[in-house]
Amino acid sequence: MSHPAHAMTHGDAMHPPVKAEFGSGVYTEKLGMWVFLLSEVMFFTALIGSYLILRFSRPDAWPAGGPQEVLNIPVTAVNTFLLICSSVTMVKAYAAAADGKLNLLPLWLLATTLIGATFVGVQAYEYTELVTHGFGPSSGLFGSTFYTMTGFHGFHVSMGVICMAYVTLRAFRGKYSATDHRGVEVIGLYWHFVDLVWIILFTIVYLI
């Protein structure tokens, strides 16, 4: 992602001036988001780590033919694809802002928001289907770990969708510029993180 227009400038909000003290080298909102994401890594590590410990100690608590015996892989695979698409639209949004294409920025952000909301909706649908077919959180270790991990991921996506909607609204109101679109980059970082967690979850919960 190169922005020749900004390569030589120092002193706009996206590329803070070189300070007297060697800090992080990035503007503080971005630093804050990276730091916050570290805490999120630890949170999901607790959940995923517990899942791995339980799965390896009691493989018999999972269906002999694998998770696909219970879970709807085709639907969630499409959902995964959608979430990945929303990361692409997020990247396009950031690029639009950086390139000064401020008319396209809100549209890409809106697309990201809508796809994110769809992901959550599909997950809600998936949950209701599973529960009506008798697979709930109380369905043994498989149910316990499945709902906790995917549920909290879904919660994080939902929070992301709300923040994304807020950023989208601000974009429509022209609050971002080519020289200051920090909010876009920061929500983008969160969004990509949430996507990455899902890719890991989808692999270890659904496919293996």
Partner 1 sequence: MTTVATHSEAAAHAHVDDRSFLRKYIFSTDHKIIGIQFLLMSLLFLLVGGTLAMIIRWQQGYPGQAMPGAGVLPETMAADGIILPEFYNSLVTMHGTFMVFFAIMPLLVGVFGNYLIPLKIGAADMAFPRINMASFWIAVPAGILMIVGFFVEGGHAAAGWTGYAPLSAVPEYTGVSLGQQIWCVSLIVLGLSSILGSMNYISTVINLRAPGMTWFRLPLSIWALFITAILVLLAMPILSGALIMLLFDQVLGTHFFLPAQGGQPLLWQHLFWFFGHPEVYILILPAMGFVSDIIANGSRKPIFGYHSMVFAIAAIGFLGWMVWGHHMFQSGMNPTLGTSFMISTMLIAVPSAIKTFNWLGTLWGGSIRFHVPMLHALAFVSMFVIGGLSGVFMASTPVDIYIHDTYFIVAHIHYVLFGGSLFALFAAITFWYPKMFGKLMSPRLGKLHFWLTFIFYNMTFFPMHQLGLQGHMRRIYDPTVYQFLDHLGGLNRFITISAFLLFASQLIFAYSFIAGWFRGEKAPENPWDDTGLEWTTPSPPPHGNWPETPTVHHPPYEFSSPLARDGDFLPQTREVKPLPDPAPTSTPADTPASR
Decide if residue 175 touches partner 1 (CB under 8 A): no
Three-class DSSP labels, 162-179 = HHHHHHHHHHHCCCCCCC
- Contact with partner 1 (CB under 8 A) among 3, 6, 40, 75: 40
Smallest distance, Å, CB 14 to partner 1?
Answer: 11
Distances in Å between the Cα of 106 and the Cα atoms of 95, 118, 134, 202 are 12, 18, 42, 30
Decide if residue 1 touches partner 1 (CB under 8 A): no
Closest-CA residue to 111 (of 126, 94, 140, 89): 89
DSSP character at residue 133: T
Decide if residue 165 touches partner 1 (CB under 8 A): no
Q: How many residues bind partner 1 (CB under 8 A)?
A: 42
Decide if residue 180 touches partner 1 (CB under 8 A): no
Decide if residue 91 touches partner 1 (CB under 8 A): no
Decide if residue 58 touches partner 1 (CB under 8 A): yes
Contact residues for 16 (Cβ-Cβ < 8 A; gap 6+): 10, 26, 27
- Contact with partner 1 (CB under 8 A) among 9, 43, 77, 208: 43
